Amino acid sequence: MELKSAAEIEAMREAGRVVARALAAVRAQAAVGVRLVELDQTARSVLAEAGATSPFLGYQPSFADLPFPAVICASVNDAALHGIPTRYKLADGDLLSVDCGATLHGWTGDAAISFTVGTPRPADVALIEAAEKALAAGIAAAVPGGRLGDISAAIGAVARAAGYGLHTDFGGHGVGHTMHESPSVPNDGKPGRGLKLAAGLVIAIEPWFMAGGRDSYRLDDDGWTLRSGDGSRAAHVEHTVAITADGPRILTAL
């Protein structure tokens, strides 16, 4: 686990800004009838114009049979994470989660947003708001002297209070020169436990909740797309955050 200097955090902020711009462009474009591959093309353009590369494209962790083929993950409805942008056309009322990363001058940012397309279902709006509330609570706990478990517990408490399902697989993680570094930041845990948080630690915090209230998930045959086990809708939001003496600093905000 590596602590970053103030100058390194500034450099990571520039990478994070590229991620924020890509996500904003995708969100602005997403509408009924737009294909997921078109959203990926938009994100590719934003990264290319910034001189950034994608830590997603070609990524192949041990669980995946195939390298990831895109620069965004586009997860629709019951898909929570790692959806491959296909030629699927967005339909009225879809819940879309988009995850994007960028590497600029050797530093990486990683963030995700969830939103509805067309006419929103109230239940989807509530699910997204809960995930965003959990992200904010996790970020608020990312302070020097705190513990990693404080972040995890803050996220888990929001999901449990709302009756949503969650899983500690595929949670947050350290971020630096590469996308996935130590420590891992699970989406549930006990306060006061785990690694002591220090200024200079940069982590991605990324709650993903499942509306049905069950904690299980399943993987598609494509080896990537992770869906809720009960078929209920899911939402995923993420920021890369630097822990500083002045408190948490969101590096992937616009």
Binding of residue 110 to Mg ion (CB under 5 A): yes
- Interacting span for Mg ion (CB under 5 A) from 37-45, 56-64, 114-122, 205-213: 205-213
Binding of residue 40 to Mg ion (CB under 5 A): no
Tell me how far, at minimum, the Cβ of 236 lies from Mg ion, in Å.
8
The footprint of Mg ion on residues 231-250 (CB under 5 A) is 238
**Options 40, 78, 94, 99; binder of Mg ion; rule CB under 5 A:** 99
Binding of residue 72 to Mg ion (CB under 5 A): no
Tell me how far, at minimum, the Cβ of 33 lies from Mg ion, in Å.
26
Tell me how far, at minimum, the Cβ of 16 lies from Mg ion, in Å.
12
Binding of residue 202 to Mg ion (CB under 5 A): no
Report DSSP letters for the chain, one per residue.
--PPPHHHHHHHHHHHHHHHHHHHHHHHH--TT-BHHHHHHHHHHHHHHHT-B-SSTT---TT-SS---SSEEEEETTEEE-----SPBP-TT-EEEEEEEEEETTEEEEEEEEEE-SS--HHHHHHHHHHHHHHHHHHHT--TT-BHHHHHHHHHHHHHHHT-B--STT-EEE-SSSSSEEEEE-SS--TT-SSBP-TT-EEEE--EEETT----EEE-TTS--EEETTS--EEE-BEEEEEETTEEEESS--
**Options 74, 204, 205, 243; binder of Mg ion; rule CB under 5 A:** 204
For Mg ion, the binding residues (CB under 5 A) are 99, 110, 112, 204, 206, 238
